[in-house]
């Protein structure tokens, strides 16, 4: 089934000038990019996006990091987009990610892990709406 997912290139990857490589990989994996924006979130916007993690001990640090520099958000479309993008990214912790995945190649810690992807159809809809709300 053709699905949509929300992908983010995080500030660590942007600072390392990996934006082009990650977008190339997305296209090579057969995704259609149907939305793309570079943004610099403020702290409140980062907190809003990660509200689901508000009770986690890493919430403050994660939202500081996600508001520390530019990010690129994208809407990706493909068969099984949600699970396929999660496979391409690899495990949340780069130390546990499979060789060849984006987080294994480009991430430096569980927080600075280069990329984000929605984890379910409900989350994908909510996350896409967060950045691409229809006027």
Residues of the shown chain interacting with ligand CMP in the complex, contacts defined by CB under 6 A: 53, 58, 62, 92, 110-111, 113, 116
Taking the complex as a whole, the smallest distance from the CB of residue 135 to ligand CMP amounts, in Å, to 27
Sheet containing 2-9: give its strands across: 32-39, 71-79, 2-9, 115-117
From the list 40, 53, 84, 116, the catalytic residue is: 116
Nearer to ligand CMP (CB atom), residue 103 or residue 135: 103
Asked if 2 contacts 120 with a C-beta cutoff of 8 angstroms, the reply is no
Closest distance between ligand CMP and the C-beta of residue 63, in Å? 9
What's the CA gap between 22 and 52, in Å, rounded?
A: 26
Q: The tokens 């793309």 sit on which residue?
A: 36
**Phi, psi (degrees; rounded to nearest 5) at 79:** -55, 135
**DSSP readout, 16-27?**
TT-HHHHHHHHH
Closest distance to ligand CMP from the beta carbon of 58 (Å): 4
Between 12 and 135, name the residue whose CB sits nearer to ligand CMP.
12
Q: Nearer Cβ to ligand CMP, position 120 or 134?
A: 120
Q: Is 116 a residue of the active site?
A: yes
Which amino acids are annotated catalytic? 116
């Amino acid at each position: 089934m053709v699905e949509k997912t929300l992908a983010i290139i995080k500030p660590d990857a942007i600072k390392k000038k990996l934006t082009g490589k990650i977008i190339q990989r997305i296209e090579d994996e057969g995704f259609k990019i149907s939305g793309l924006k570079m943004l610099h979130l403020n702290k409140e916007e980062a907190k809003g996006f990660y509200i689901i993690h508000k009770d986690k001990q890493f919430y403050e640090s994660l939202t500081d990091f996600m508001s520390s520099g530019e990010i690129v958000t994208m809407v990706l479309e493909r068969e099984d987009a949600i699970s396929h993008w999660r496979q391409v990214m690899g495990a949340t912790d780069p130390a546990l990610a499979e060789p060849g995945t984006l987080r294994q190649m480009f991430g430096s810690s569980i927080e600075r892990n280069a990329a984000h992807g929605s984890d379910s159809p409900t989350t994908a809809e909510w996350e896409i709406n967060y950045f691409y709300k229809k006027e």
